[in-house]
Structure 1
Amino acid sequence: MDSSNPAVPTVTTFAELDLPAALLHTLDEQDVREPFPIQAATVPSALAGRDVLGRGRTGSGKTLAFGLPLLARTAGRRAEAKQPLALVLVPTRELAQQVTEALTPYAHALGLRTATVVGGISIARQIAALREGAEVVVATPGRLHDLIERKACRLDRVRITVLDEADQMCDMGFLPQVTEALDQVRAGGQRMLFSATLDRDVDELVQRYLHDPVVHEVDPSAGAVTTMDHHVLVVHGPDRYAVATEIAARDGRVLMFLDTKHSVDLLTRHLRANGVHAAALHSGKSQPQRSRTLAQFKSGGVTALVATNVAARGLHVDDLDLVVNVDPPTDPKDYLHRAGRTARAGESGRVVTLVLSGQRRETSQVLTDAGIAPKVTKVRSGEAELSRITGARQPSGKPLDSDPSAAKPKNTNAPFRGLGTSKATPAAGGSGGGKSSGGGKSGGTSRKAGEARKLAEARKAAQMRRRGR
C-alpha cells in the first residue's frame, strides 16, 4: 500500500467542492456548512474516482465523507431489479440504519433510491425493495450474504463499494462474507475503506481490493481525544448497584455497558423499579425493539440506556456526554469502542469505569494497552465526589412499571443494594434508601430463628417440670 501518493487538495467549505447543486442545497437545509477534517480530506479524492483509505474513529464524520461522493457519482443512473449500483457494508444493524437515515435526504435530492439490508427485519420486504430497484444498498454482511444466496441480489453492477468500520467487521467475524461481496462487485470499480485501526485483517483487505488508494489519517483514536475524560471509580462490591443507580438517575442521558444480556435486563429492571427511565439493548431484542429503544434514547424519553457491546459499535447519539462501564471491559478494543460513543464530532464527553478492588490490576492493564491514563478515585454511593464526576443523584424510588416483579432481581425476593450483597443480609434499594426485605429470604431466616428459640424454651420448661416431679 502506497501512502505517499499525491492527494487532491483538501477544502474548507462544501461550497468549494464540485458537488451537484441539489446536494449543496440539501447540505444548507441540513445546516451542514463546514466539513469535518475527514470529509475535507477525502471528499475531493472520492469525487475524482480514486480509491480511498481513511482512518478515523467513529463519530468523526465518515458517513458524509463517503456518502456525498458516492451519491454524486451515482446520480443520473438507474438500477435494474436486484442490481444495485453502490454498496455500503457496515458491521451492525444500528449503524446501517444510521447511515441510511443520514444519506436519505441527499439521495432524495438526487432522485436516488436506497435500501437497508440487515438481519432482524423481514427479509421478504428487503427482497421486494431490491426487486423494485435501489441504486444504493446499505447492508450488514450476513444479511447481504443471505440475499445473494437466494438470488435476490446481484453485485456485478456495483460501481462504488464502501467498507465502513472495516476493523469492526473483521473483529466480529465478517471477513469471509466481506471478501465474498468484494469478489462479486464490478471489477475496476471504486472502493473506499474507512476504519478506526489498520490491523492485519484490514491491511489484507486494503492490499487485496484497493488500487493505489489515497490515504488519509486525520482523526485521533478514542484514547487520544482531548475532549474525552477517563475515570476509574473503585467501588465496594455491595455498593456497585447503588453507585450505578445513582449515576443512572443523573440529570441527562447515560449509556451503561454490562457484559451479558441477563445482567443488562437485571439492572434495567432494577433502575426502572427505582424511578429511572431506563431501557435495555442487546442481541436478544428484536430489531423493531432495538430501533424503538434507540429512538427513545435519542429523543430523551429513555435517559439510561443499558446495553451489551452491541451498542459499542456504530451507535451515534448526539450530545451523549457520559459512558459508564458497569462491567469493566477485558479487551482494549472493547474499551475504545465503548468510549467512542461519547465526545463525538468535536463534543466533550466522559468515560467512567466501575471496578472492584480485585479488578484494578486487570483493568489498569487493559486501559494501558488502550493508551488510556485514567484518573482513579475511590467512591461510595451518596458521596459528593461521585456526583461531581458523574452527576449522580438520588433516584425518585417510584417504580415506573406496574409489574411488582420488576422491582426484584431474579431469584431474589427483595431489591438489593449491590451485586455482592449476601442473601441473608437485609438489603436496601439501589440508592441505599429502600425498605428492608421483610418477606424475603432474610425475613424467612428471622422467623426460623424465632421458632428455634421457642422450641428451645419449651424443651427447657419440660426439663424443669421433670426435675420438679
Structure 2
Amino acid sequence: MSHPYRTGTSTRSRPSRGYGRQRPRAAARPRTGGGPSGEFALPVTVTPALPPVDSFEALDMPAALKRTLAKQGLTTPSEIQAATLPNSLAGRDVLGRSRTGSGKTLAFGLALLAGLDGRAAEPRRPLAIVLAPTRELAQQVADSLEPYARSVGVRTATVVGGMPIYRQSRALRQGVHLVVATPGRLRDLMERGDCVLDRVESSVLDEADQMTDMGFMPQVTAILQEVPADGRRMLFSATLDRNVDTLVRRFLNDPVVHSVDLSEGAVSTMEHHVVHVSPTDKKDVATRIAAREGRVIMFLDTKRAVDRMAEHLLANGVLAAPLHGGRSQPQRTRTLDQFKRGDVTALIATNVAARGIHVDGLDLVV
C-alpha cells in the first residue's frame, strides 16, 4: 500500500526588537469547547490574525534566512507556514494543528531564528527552546534548522537522552541561543544547574499530543513554569485531547489558531488491508510481507518483541533492524540512516517511530 510516511515566574521584559514584542500575559486563557470524537474544539483567536503570505520574500525576516530558503529551493510556504509565520514573526502565540510532514518545523523555526539574529548567547541561559517527544524528532528538528541557524549566526544544542550528558552540559555552559530537547533530559540539565530558563523568550512544543501520551505532561509543565511568563509560546499538535487542551489554556495567550492537513485527510489516500491469520502462521506471514520489494516499517508493542522479530527476519534473509527506546542514540541514529538509504529495508519498531520521522519512498506500514 502506498503510504507517504512523514513521519516561570519571571516578569522580565523581552528586549524590543523587530521580530518580537513586549506584552503582559493575560490571566484568563481562551477556553475550548467539546468537539467531535471526544476531542476539544480549537479555541477562537480573539485578536485578529495577520493575513497569510504567498511567498517567503513577503515575510519580515532577515535576508540571510530568505537566501538560505532560496538555496534550499523553497520559495512558496506551505499552508501552515503561510498562515502562522506573519503572526509568530510579530511575536504572537501560535496554536497549530497539523499532521507530521506539513512543514511546521520551518513554521516555528524561522520565527525563532529571526528573533535570535544578532543576539549574544550567554552561558547556561538559552533564549529559545523547542521540546519534542522523541530523540529522533528532536534531532530531525535540529538538523532541519541547522543551515538556517548557521546563516544568522545562531548557536544551537540538541539535548536528548541516550547521549553523554557531559557533552550537552559543556555546550550549554559555553552558551547557545536555541536548545532543541526532549523534556526528560532538559529537566536533568536544569536540575544540574547547566540550563537556566529565566531568559527564554520563545518556547515551542512540537508534537504536543504525543508528548502527553508518552507521559511527559509533568515535565513539560515544570519546564514551561520556569520560562518567563511574557514570552512567546507556540504549540503544534496533530490532535487536541484533554491534556493538550490543558496546556493551551494554561500557557498560550490569545494564540493565532490554524488547523491544516489533519490526519483524517491522509487516511483516505491510503490503501488499507486487514489480514486474519492464526497465531502459528503470523510470524511466517509477517516474514513474507517484510521480504517484499520496497521499504516497510513494522510496529510491535514491546522492545523484546521488536528484537525477536528483527532477529527472525535477519535469519531469514531480510535486511531488518530494530528501533526502540532501549537502544543507544547512536544505534538509533545509525539504524534510521541505514533505513533512509535503503541499506535496511525493514524497520522493526516500537511507537518511538510512530511520528516525526521523515522517510521518503516508504511503501508499507504494518
Same fold by TM (over 0.5)?
yes
Question: Equivalent residue for 1:209?
Answer: 251
CA RMSD of aligned residues (A): 1.4
| 1:224, distance to aligned residue in structure 2 (A) | 4.9
Taking only the aligned residue pairs, the percentage that are identical comes to: 66
1:3 aligned to 44, 49, 55, which one? Answer: 44
Question: Equivalent residue for 1:197?
Answer: 239
Residues of 1 paired with 2:185 and 2:124: CA distance? 14
Question: Equivalent residue for 1:344?
Answer: none
| 1:266, distance to aligned residue in structure 2 (A) | 1.4
1:36 aligned to 78, 81, 86, which one? Answer: 78
Question: Equivalent residue for 2:122?
Answer: 80
Question: Equivalent residue for 2:357?
Answer: 315
Q: How does 1:8-407 map to 2 (within 5 A)?
A: 8-222=50-264, 224-324=266-366
Structure 2 vs 1, CA of residues 144 and 4 (structure 1 numbering), >3 Å: closer, same or farther?
closer
Residues of 1 paired with 2:75 and 2:285: CA distance? 42
| 1:318, distance to aligned residue in structure 2 (A) | 2.2
Contact 1:46–1:69 (8 Å) recurs in 2: yes
| 1:227, distance to aligned residue in structure 2 (A) | 2.4
RCO higher in 1 or 2 (8 Å CA, sep ≥ 6)? 2
Question: Equivalent residue for 1:467?
Answer: none
| 1:4, distance to aligned residue in structure 2 (A) | 3.8
Contact 2:45–2:254 (8 Å) recurs in 1: no
Contact 2:130–2:206 (8 Å) recurs in 1: yes
| 1:166, distance to aligned residue in structure 2 (A) | 0.9
Amino acid in structure 2 at the alignment position of 1:47: L
| 1:200, distance to aligned residue in structure 2 (A) | 1.1
- 1:286-327 per-position Cα deviation (integer Å, ceiling 9, x unaligned): 111111101111111111100111111322222323211xxx
- 1:59-78 per-position Cα deviation (integer Å, ceiling 9, x unaligned): 22111110011111111111
Higher Cα Rg, which structure? 1
- 1:372-409 per-position Cα deviation (integer Å, ceiling 9, x unaligned): xxxxxxxxxxxxxxxxxxxxxxxxxxxxxxxxxxxxxx
Residues of 2 paired with 1:197 and 1:260: CA distance? 24
Amino acid in structure 2 at the alignment position of 1:248: A
Amino acid in structure 2 at the alignment position of 1:320: L
Residues of 2 paired with 1:22 and 1:229: CA distance? 43
Question: Equivalent residue for 1:338?
Answer: none
Residues of 1 paired with 2:336 and 2:182: CA distance? 18
Amino acid in structure 1 at the alignment position of 2:44: S
- 1:244-281 per-position Cα deviation (integer Å, ceiling 9, x unaligned): 11221222111111112122111111111121111001
SS of 1:245's partner is helix
SS of 1:83's partner is coil
Residues of 1 paired with 2:124 and 2:364: CA distance? 43
| 1:173, distance to aligned residue in structure 2 (A) | 1.1
Amino acid in structure 1 at the alignment position of 2:303: K
Contact 1:92–1:313 (8 Å) recurs in 2: no
SS of 2:57's partner is helix
Residues of 2 paired with 1:79 and 1:185: CA distance? 17
| 1:236, distance to aligned residue in structure 2 (A) | 3.3
Which ranges in structure 1 are unaligned for 5 or more consecutive residues? 325-469
- 1:17-55 per-position Cα deviation (integer Å, ceiling 9, x unaligned): 222211111112112222221111111111111000001
Structure 2 vs 1, CA of residues 15 and 225 (structure 1 numbering), >3 Å: closer, same or farther?
farther
Residues of 2 paired with 1:11 and 1:244: CA distance? 47
SS of 1:230's partner is coil
Structure 2 vs 1, CA of residues 43 and 319 (structure 1 numbering), >3 Å: closer, same or farther?
farther
Residues of 2 paired with 1:23 and 1:97: CA distance? 20
Residues of 2 paired with 1:109 and 1:222: CA distance? 37
Contact 1:282–1:310 (8 Å) recurs in 2: yes
| 1:199, distance to aligned residue in structure 2 (A) | 1.3
| 1:222, distance to aligned residue in structure 2 (A) | 4.3
Contact 1:91–1:314 (8 Å) recurs in 2: no
Residues of 2 paired with 1:42 and 1:321: CA distance? 32
Contact 2:204–2:234 (8 Å) recurs in 1: yes
Residues of 2 paired with 1:320 and 1:33: CA distance? 26
TM-score, normalised on structure 1? 0.67
Structure 2 vs 1, CA of residues 15 and 250 (structure 1 numbering), >3 Å: closer, same or farther?
farther
Structure 2 vs 1, CA of residues 13 and 230 (structure 1 numbering), >3 Å: closer, same or farther?
farther
TM-score, normalised on structure 2? 0.86
Residues of 2 paired with 1:188 and 1:308: CA distance? 38
Contact 2:124–2:194 (8 Å) recurs in 1: yes
SS of 2:130's partner is strand
Q: How many residues align?
A: 324
